[in-house]
Amino acid sequence: MKKIEAIIRPERLTDTIKGLKKIGITGFTVSQVVGRGKQKDTQGVYRGKNYQVTLHPKVKLEIVLSDYLVESTIRTVMQAAQTGEDGDGKIYVYPILEAYNIRTGTIDYDIDDLANREGGL
């Protein structure tokens, strides 16, 4: 199993989710985050005062899935989230050693077989 973390522009979230659903990925977590990369600072105005924006709003998608789904998921996220501008984001891939079901208190061996249980892929 792997965990994919994708940091993307908030305005690309809807297209990214649509793309994930098309390839059968329906389980994920979305968090609103702020961050700093190569994207340039911007100027903002609040109550008539100028200020500099150095941390930019982003969205973080977290997806745990079977190894065989990693490449297609990365490709899908890149296609949906890419604008070609600085600040498009990053994708990170981590190994998952174990998963636990909180309700039952047991190791969740079924997470790697999610598609088979739900009639998905």
Looking up tokens 């994920």 gives 28
Instruction: Note whether 46 and 13 are within 8 A (CB).
Output: no
How far is CA 35 from each of CA 5, 9, 68, 89, 119, rounded to the nearest angstrom?
A: 14, 11, 30, 10, 37
pLDDT digits (tens, 9 = 90+) for 74-112: 999 999 999 999 889 999 999 998 888 899 888 887 665
pLDDT value of position 24: 92
pLDDT band at 120 (very low <50, low <70, confident <90, very high): very low
Please state the rounded mean pLDDT for residues 16-35: 95
pTM of the model: 0.79
pLDDT digits (tens, 9 = 90+) for 64-76: 998 999 999 999 9
Terminal-to-terminal C-alpha distance of the chain: 16
pLDDT band at 121 (very low <50, low <70, confident <90, very high): very low
Task: Using the predicted structure, report yes or no on whether residue 50 has a pLDDT greater than 90.
Answer: no
